[in-house]
Structure 1
């Protein structure tokens, strides 16, 4: 939106809203080093040691990695997507990524398939690429069997929550809805999400007169996703390409049985067939496996033991909670950071040698990358003269009061709140900065 400046988030996270105009999908146009003064100022002011960039299509990520390398900072890159090798867009992006990652300290991928894909695309040393999967906050995605029973009136609900775009396999969903609804009179669909493929879905539903059995929710805010998932028993993912898919974890954590296309790193997410059926990315195969999941749900219900059904939901939730946690992700990422910080820094000539190797040392790619690196180096020399490093105020470390201490303070002083405590802490640091300036 139009948010500007710096915002503080709990616990102690500082967010800089840079004045970059997004072009599409929240990605901005290349700035051609116009962003260098601002990013250098942030890196120096915040005493940054590691620059961690995400996403191959992010212009800000590529520019940050290049600037950080020129400033002598350590860099880490995380990839979340899979890209091919047989179209012009992917080939150009892969070459840019190879140039950006030629001086990176380590790379993280969200699955082993994603890791192999990145190693091939960016010509990276496999020993520096780590597979660290995503996770889910299981406390926010819990089963609610009472909601499902009361809302469904004995009917089985199949839930789909996704961006309604081609890459998410919505054309497959268009094909399976009439097949499944014809085979099972007691099955309904709940579709959450929005996108250009929504019209095709609505036309198919209208063509087969399924308006009473397919519910379109539109875009679902993330804090409402768990409530929507709790209404169903089966979750369907139709993606044509997927490196991990957190939506599968969220659905399984809510107790839903998952049916997904077997693409990318999906097979690594959940155990099959205990918690998920894997399908080929075709209408026939997907409809078959959705039918199997519905039959499985019918068998559970036919037992007549609601307590066992509820127990099964919570057992699935507990397995997800044990398998995936953000604490584990943070610990593994911290070990990557430690290894990167222990590695020696690359000198200017060493970086040029790596940039020259882009494209396996053949063609113009390596020389163009070296030229860009030298231009960045020259611009940094000008910035050091125009805005010397010692004139940039360094922000002191913020040590926020722990939540337990804040609770004790609030108990002693009912008028105080946690928000007030944070504001007072930040005001104190503002006073420190003002004194330094004076």
Structure 2
């Protein structure tokens, strides 16, 4: 591709971990490389084995559909030695990573930084460093975030600060997600674009033998076992459903804090022969697992897109899902049964799906698979993403003064971000003009951020209290 963008895909979430963001980055990187772009991935270290610069070898079957060549392509990945604090994310200090990001961007001649997930601290830091170097920036938001709890407030304020200069284009995976991001970040709607996830070509029922046995109906759930995935609903459904339908078996793939509660439920109700806890199943093995099941059950309480139900539909499974977030946008209504996230309604939808399978009614496995295969191919996703890249590269970059002024609109934290930007600019001057690139300098200055932030919080509260008084 002539004048192809040179892209750095950045996120705290990447291989060897598995999940929606991780698989999205691998699929997008593979597709962009096949279009002729220069692509690298930057993430944090995952132990001695995954530290420093590595190369991943991607095959077309495992990543991208609609490709004619069967060659294996190479993806360069930088695993940075930074500390992890919570939710598999690095601590947002900004200044210490000045030692890594600019050097990688300059060495690889990157002209566009593409971050994945607004909950990733590394994404925000990469975008800040990229803007200081005059690079174009894009961020893909994969999740729906609330507005009330402490974690959501911090995440939203961080996103608002990162996007406040209105120079970063945002890609969302659904229209529901785009509305959520616009409200959270307070940015103009024209900067937000909707491009859905792509699905791996390995999810195709035609690659596996047909499933004809309906004497035992297998219901599968694939997700992280945590509260927002609705595992409480699953715990309420399983015992009663197994009691009413003796021919049903549950298969649960995934791990998380609710694993213990699931194991306790299985033991308490003597369901060890009816409920199979698979643990973490590698993404490449999911098609084979889904090919042995009849119904896919999704009990999520919040979801921006839900790749899992698309993958299950491509394997020909009947889909029963909670009606939340962007899920209604994902599949045609004849391929999915949507219910409110309550045990009673999900139980009723699951009963209907299982009864239809036993009686041979409803859409056939072949019909579901063929209709789902027409949606979400990586070729289309990558082409549309490159259009956003070119649009971002063609726009004028914000000056330091413009960015400093734009921070004034960030409520409560505006002055804090202005102070951070001034120090950030000073550090870049030290790095570029004075050739100071010592880790201990950046590490020492990173301790100023919490102190400055604490001072700003106290000052803002005192000013508000005094004005009210």
SS of 2:272's equivalent? coil
Alignment partner of 1:284 is 2:344: yes
Pairing of 1:240-259 with structure 2 (within 5 A): 240-259=301-320
| CA RMSD, 1 decimal | 2.0
Match of 2:261 in 1: 200
Match of 2:325 in 1: 264
Q: Which runs of 5+ in 1 are unaligned?
A: 304-308, 390-438
1:118, distance to aligned residue in structure 2 (A): 0.3
1:287, distance to aligned residue in structure 2 (A): 0.5
Distance in 1 between the 2:384 and 2:208 partners? 35
Alignment partner of 1:108 is 2:171: yes
Match of 1:416 in 2: none
Distance in 1 between the 2:265 and 2:162 partners? 44
Q: 1:384 aligns with which of 426, 429, 432?
A: 432
SS of 2:224's equivalent? coil
Give the paired residue count: 374
SS of 1:139's equivalent? coil
Give TM-score, length-normalised by structure 2: 0.76
1:30, distance to aligned residue in structure 2 (A): 2.3
Match of 1:132 in 2: 195
Match of 1:408 in 2: none
Q: 1:28 aligns with which of 90, 93, 110?
A: 90
1:147, distance to aligned residue in structure 2 (A): 6.5
Larger Rg: 1
SS of 1:231's equivalent? coil
1:15, distance to aligned residue in structure 2 (A): 1.1
Distance in 2 between the 1:357 and 1:70 partners? 20
1:141, distance to aligned residue in structure 2 (A): 3.8
Distance in 2 between the 1:192 and 1:57 partners? 24
Moved >6 Å (runs of 4+): none
Distance in 2 between the 1:175 and 1:20 partners? 41
Alignment partner of 1:295 is 2:369: no
Match of 2:394 in 1: 342
Match of 1:328 in 2: 380
SS of 2:218's equivalent? strand
Give yes or no for contact 1:143–1:313 (8 Å, CA) kept in 2.
Answer: no
Alignment partner of 1:72 is 2:134: yes
Match of 2:9 in 1: none
1:160, distance to aligned residue in structure 2 (A): 1.0
Distance in 2 between the 1:386 and 1:174 partners? 61
SS of 1:90's equivalent? helix
- 1:306-345 per-position Cα deviation (integer Å, ceiling 9, x unaligned): xxx8xx3233222222111011110111111111111111
Cα 1:145/1:284, change in 2 over 3 Å? farther
Give TM-score, length-normalised by structure 1: 0.81
1:146, distance to aligned residue in structure 2 (A): 4.2
Match of 2:414 in 1: 366
